[in-house]
Chains A and B, each alone.
Chain A
Amino acid sequence: MQDQKDIKKTTYKDYAEKRASPSPLIRDTFLAFIFGGALCVAGQGLTALCLAWTGSEKTAGTLASLALIAIASILTGFGVFDKAARYGGAGMLVPITGFSNAMTSPAIDAKSEGWVLGVGAKIFNVAGPVILYGTLSSAVYGLIYYVLKTIIL
């Protein structure tokens, strides 16, 4: 390369992307399986406990979900959750614990700007897109379901 005056953008980008080592897929998948699996086992255990307590399967499921949300939120507050998620990855983030962390972490973070302009304004910073597009897509699916149902019946 005699002329290095301009490092060509596209070729350099390709080069940089090619040489960057990707995230360790097998390790990440394995850890996600272990962490996510352990979480689900814990959730199942909680459900069983709640079932024995309340006798209602529906209530037990709700209580177990609430307990997992609370635990993840408290662990986020103690600064433990993000460390576990760095290893557990999707195993920690995909279950309801991830949503809990996505709500708690911006709330903790924004406290320095006050309850209204900080916590109030920024609490949906991370989970906002999930809530917005989750609600929107459920409305769309509902509509499709309604149309199909009226056509078929």
Chain B
Amino acid sequence: MVRTVRPEHPVSVTVTAAVGGKKEWNGPLGARFDYIDESDRFGKKTWEQSEAESQAIALRLALNKSSLRETDLDAVVAGDLLNQCSSSSYGLMNFRIPFLGIFGACSTPAEGLLISTLMLDGGHYRRIGVVSSSHFCSAERQFRAPVEYGGQRPPTAQWTVTGAGAFILENAPGRVQIDGLQIGRIVDAGIDDPGNMGAAMAPAAFEAFRDFFEFSGKKPADYDLILTGDLGAEGSAILKELALRAGIDLKRHNDCGLMIYDRATQDVQSGGSGCGCSAAVMASYILPQMFEGNVGSVLYAATGALMSADAVKQGLCIPGIAHIVSLKADMKNNRGERAQ
């Protein structure tokens, strides 16, 4: 049965860092990234190594921003889209921080925040890093076709974000606290078209929100922003329709896949996707806005399409999932200056 958890002790997000590639730099949030590599290579020869390096850069930046050393982290929880979570293990192996590799497809950043919050709330850990990444080229290679293969995309397809987000969480009160969690269930909505992952994930997001509002006692109006991970235009429209029919008001909804690119000019069809999509949007934009006191409360549901390339070829459906993390900024003690 679905449980909505409210941490018993304060757990806060203290610092974030976002890394991106050229397309992300050209997107609306480009200037907010902490680090951009316009070659998308991050100094490495292969795309898989580039993605791994993007995780290392993101975590290093987050540590530097908070003047922490790697020994200050009790654990790092990280994930990506590649087989065996290789970007995380290869990217973070030189840090010598106790490591948990996770897979939740594009829901990975929320899964990481969720697991870390429970670890911190449990009292055994004091400070944990969460990292999540994806890379357009490594994802194309694993899930679709060779990078240089000339194919056309349907309008419902999504563009895998090249980027990573890193978060550092502490078991102490802070400017942005995590005040709610919900582990999602796997939802098989019967969609088997990898060119329409928004439709595969939207029912999972809908169920997650419906359960959360039912069990947590909170209402959509309690949040300044209701944010999904990477439903894109198609999935967002479906989510809103499902919510409307169930009487849930999602007027304040936005989607990271719609925020990271300009769909009108960047040829990304339905929007961005990937473990790096909502990780980078949260780390570059949403959380900094909360740190600055511009946004008070965010209900973040990262959505994931738990598919494998072989399962789809075997005719199986694409299962969706959505994990929820509820974030609240401490507006009273906020002395940060408001950004324009």
Q: Do A and B come from one complex?
A: yes
Interface of A toward B, CB cutoff 8 Å: 1, 4, 7, 9-10, 12-13, 16-17, 19-24, 28, 76-77, 79, 81-82, 84-86, 89, 92-93, 98, 101-102, 104-106, 108-110, 112, 125-126
Contact partner, B154, options A10, A23, A112, Cβ 8 Å? A23
B122 within 8 A of A: no
Given A7-B189, A112-B47, A126-B145: A20 and B152 within 8 A (CB)?
no
Within 8 A of A (CB), among B136-170: 141, 145-156
Given A4-B206, A20-B234, A112-B47: A13 and B150 within 8 A (CB)?
no
Contact partner, B150, options A12, A98, A112, Cβ 8 Å? A98
Q: Per-residue 0/1 for B184-222: is the Cβ within 8 Å of any A Cβ (1 yes, 0 no)?
A: 000111110100100100010011001000000000000
Q: How far is the CA of A104 from the CA of B333 in the complex (A)?
A: 59
**Within 8 Å CB of A85, what residues of B?**
150-152
Q: Specify the main secondary structure of chain B where it touches its partner.
A: loop
Establish whether residues B141 and A109, one from each chain, have CB atoms under 8 Å apart when the complex forms: yes
B26 to chain A, nearest CB (A): 15
Contact partner, A105, options B149, B153, B242, B317, Cβ 8 Å? B149
Contact partner, B196, options A16, A98, A110, Cβ 8 Å? A16
A3 to chain B: closest residue by CB: B246
**Within 8 Å CB of A86, what residues of B?**
150-153, 267
Interface of B toward A, CB cutoff 8 Å: 45-48, 141, 145-156, 187-191, 193, 196, 199, 203, 206-207, 210, 234, 237-238, 242, 245-246, 267, 317
Q: How far is the CA of A84 from the CA of B193 in the complex (A)?
A: 25
Q: How far is the CA of A110 from the CA of B141 in the complex (A)?
A: 9
| Most chain A CB within a 10 A radius of its CB, from B153, B155, B317 | B155
Q: How far is the CA of A22 from the CA of B155 in the complex (A)?
A: 7
A4 to chain B: closest residue by CB: B246
Q: How far is the CA of A125 from the CA of B140 in the complex (A)?
A: 14
Q: How far is the CA of A18 from the CA of B329 in the complex (A)?
A: 41
Establish whether residues A23 and B155, one from each chain, have CB atoms under 8 Å apart when the complex forms: yes
A28 to chain B: closest residue by CB: B152
Contact partner, A20, options B46, B148, B156, B210, Cβ 8 Å? B156
Q: How far is the CA of A122 from the CA of B317 in the complex (A)?
A: 27
Q: How far is the CA of A21 from the CA of B189 in the complex (A)?
A: 19
Q: How far is the CA of A36 from the CA of B152 in the complex (A)?
A: 15
Given A10-B190, A12-B190: A82 and B150 within 8 A (CB)?
yes
Contact partner, A125, options B146, B148, B190, B234, Cβ 8 Å? B146
Establish whether residues B155 and A21, one from each chain, have CB atoms under 8 Å apart when the complex forms: yes
**Within 8 Å CB of B48, what residues of A?**
112
Q: How far is the CA of A22 from the CA of B196 in the complex (A)?
A: 11
Given A4-B242, A20-B196, A112-B46: A82 and B148 within 8 A (CB)?
yes
Establish whether residues A12 and B189, one from each chain, have CB atoms under 8 Å apart when the complex forms: yes
21 contacts between A and B (CB under 8 A): A4-B207, A7-B207, A9-B189, A13-B191, A16-B199, A19-B234, A21-B156, A22-B155, A23-B154, A28-B152, A77-B148, A81-B150, A82-B148, A82-B149, A82-B151, A86-B153, A86-B267, A89-B152, A92-B150, A101-B149, A126-B149
Return the 9 tightest CB-CB contacts between A and B, nearest first: A85-B150, A9-B190, A109-B146, A16-B199, A112-B46, A105-B146, A105-B148, A105-B149, A13-B190
**Within 8 Å CB of A9, what residues of B?**
188-190, 317
